[in-house]
């Protein structure tokens, strides 16, 4: 039996059928959530090119470890001048919460790698 936390409904899988949520859905939720965090400029694509936050390609990596914990890895470029630890913490919190709210899946870890800073020359003057 599964529980839907948003409205506390329970459903019996044997009566209603299975619900499968793909890794792409969770990755998409993570990317869309990252778009809303101030200070995030871009995320990294699997082919190692930078991806603007306004494209739809998969940009977060989801994996399950030996103990069935689900983790998400995301590489980001942040805007110059932001507090890197604060932006990363906000990303981790927002992604964990949004994935749980939308899928009822609890992420064990959200690992953020900051790979670069976007230095806007107008901001540096």
CATH number at residue 95: 3.30.70.1350
Q: Is residue 105 within 8 Å of residue 26, measured between CB atoms?
A: yes
Record the pTM. Answer: 0.73
Per-residue pLDDT of the chain (125 residues; tens, 9 = 90+): 444 333 334 445 557 788 888 888 898 999 999 989 999 999 875 444 444 444 444 567 776 766 678 889 999 999 999 999 999 999 999 999 999 999 999 999 999 999 999 997 665 44
How many structural domains compose the chain?
1
Q: Is residue 53 part of a domain?
A: yes
In a domain, 6, yes or no: no
Structural domain that includes position 48 = 19-118
Burial class (CB in 10 A: 0-12, 13-18, 19+), 58: middle
Q: Using alpha carbons only, give the angle 89, 32, 41 rounded to the nearest 5 degrees.
A: 65
For 79, other C-beta atoms within 10 Å of its C-beta total: 16
């Amino acid at each position: 039996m599964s529980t839907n936390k948003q409205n506390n409904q329970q459903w019996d899988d044997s009566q209603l059928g299975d619900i499968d949520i793909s890794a792409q859905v969770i990755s998409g939720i993570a990317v869309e959530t990252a778009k809303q965090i101030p200070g995030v400029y871009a995320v990294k694509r699997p082919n190692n090119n930078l991806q603007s936050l306004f494209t739809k390609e998969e940009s977060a990596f989801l994996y399950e470890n030996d103990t069935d914990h689900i983790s998400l890895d995301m590489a980001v470029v942040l805007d110059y001048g932001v507090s890197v630890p604060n932006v990363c913490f906000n990303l981790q919190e927002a992604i964990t919460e949004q994935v749980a709210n939308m899928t009822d899946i609890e992420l064990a870890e959200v690992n953020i790698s900051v790979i670069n800073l976007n230095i806007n020359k107008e901001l540096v003057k």
